[in-house]
Each structure stands twice: as structure tokens, then as C-alpha cells.
Amino acid sequence: MRYPRLTRRGSGGPAAGGPNVRTARLRSRRTAALVAGGAIAATAGIGLVSCGSDGSGGPGLSGTAAEAGPKLTIVDPYIPQPAKDGIAAGYLVVRNDGDTPDRLVAVSSPLAPSAALHETVDNTMAHLDGIEIPAHGRGVLARGAAHIMFTDTASPLRKGDIVDVTLTFEKSGSVTVRVPVLGMADRPGDPGTPTTAVPVVPGGDTVPNTWTTGSAGGVAGHAGGHGG
């Protein structure tokens, strides 16, 4: 009796070219593709978490968003020489070049134990809780309108004196500016009268004033032109 000859390829099992082998290979390739796809998806998920979190569990802020906020400059602060001792008024402009509004909420000075925000309405004065500083706008303290009122001043004020005044803002903190005393009828920008620009730096530091003597035409938002 003759027996059929068996041909073995590899270590045993079905022939490498048989249908069972091809099916196994296809299944192996599909499994590898699924595993690779899952790894890519997992990596993408980690990237999304990194972009959406700053490490504290909350949404992260881009550099631009983090830097957005009020950008205040104190322009032309001044005190006219008072007509009588014991009381004085201060004027200035707060320019906001930032994207966020702010609010002037308090003032203080070694000049007087009482310094407050007031507003003149129909020749009478009313206390103000604050002055709004809109984004890309100005808050104006001027003659005949909102102003700083100093009462019980410690000493008489004369033209040429310099007074330290601290302004406190809701978002930007405090800044101390050096405010010149001008003549009774003088305004910043008049010939021979200084104009001033003081950037507000958060932290309450005293910032040196930038003084310019002459015309106010070169100072945007100066306080001298507001009558009252």
C-alpha cells in the first residue's frame, strides 16, 4: 500500500500559504492597526489636556489673555493754589489704554487727614464712591466736575509746592504721584506750566513723574483743558 507523502513547512501546522494562515495574518494586521490607532488617540488626548489646563485643574490662559487688563496712566495731576488755607482741590486725568475697565476708589495724602472724591453739581458738592475708568477711555477729574477734595490741610499751599497723593484703583492697586501746585488760574499745558504723565505700576510703588514744560498739545488727555 502506498501512503501519500506529507510535506511540512515550518515547525508544523498548516502550510504557510494555506487559507487558515492568510486569515490569521489578516487578523494580526487588523489588531496591530487597532492598537496603533488607540495609542495615537491616547496621545492626542494627553495633548488636549495639556492645552486646556494650567496644572491647577482649571482652564489655562494664553499669554495674550493673561496680559489683558487695565493699563493706566495718570495725566496732568495738579492742585491750584487755594484761595484760602485749610482746603484744596486736586484734578487729573486717568487714561486707560487697556482692554479692561478699572475704577478709582480712594485717595490719600500726607497733605490732609481727609482726602476724598467729590463731585460738583449745581454749585454743591457730593461725595463719590469712585470714578469709572472705561477700557480705552478716560476718567476725568476737572474743575466744576469730579475732583479730589483735601480738607484740614496741614500747611498753606503755594505755587511751586509738590504734594504726594496716593491713588487706589480697584484692579490696578495703588500708585503715589507727585502733584504740583499751580497758580490759581493756571492749568497744565499753559506756557511755562508742566504737563505730566505717570504710568500706574501695580504694587503701590512711587513712580517718578515725567515732566514736560510748555504746550499741552503733545500730551493726550491732559487735564488742563477742562473748564469748570
Mind listing the pLDDT tens digit for each residue in 56-111?
A: 344 443 455 436 899 999 999 999 999 999 999 999 999 999 999 999 999 999 99
Segment 217-226 mean pLDDT = 41
Where in the sequence is the domain holding 24, given as residue range(s)?
15-53
Whole-angstrom Cα distance, residue 99 to residue 91? 24
Do residue 87 and residue 45 come from a single domain?
no
CATH number of the domain that 164 lies in?
2.60.40.1890
Task: For the full predicted model, state whether its pTM sits above 0.75.
Answer: no
- Look at residue 59 and tell me if it is in a domain: no
**What integer pLDDT is reported at residue 192 of this predicted model?**
80
**H or E segment and range at residue 141:** strand 137-141
Residue 33 maps to a domain: yes
Dist CA 179 CA 51 (whole Å): 47
Q: Report how far residue 139's alpha carbon sits from residue 127's, in angstroms, rounded to the nearest whole number.
A: 16
> pLDDT (tens digit, 9 = 90+) per residue, 158-173?
999 999 999 999 999 9
**Proportion of the chain above pLDDT 90, given as a percent:** 47
**98 and 122 share a domain?**
yes
- CA-angle at 17, arms to 11 and 19, nearest 5°: 110
Rounded CA separation 140/118 (Å):
12
Does residue 128 form part of some domain? yes
Would you tell me how many other CB atoms lie within 10 Å of the CB of residue 178? Answer: 16
228 in a domain, yes or no? Answer: no
When divided into structural domains, the chain yields a total of 2
Same domain? 116 vs 208: yes
- 25 with 77, same domain: the answer is no
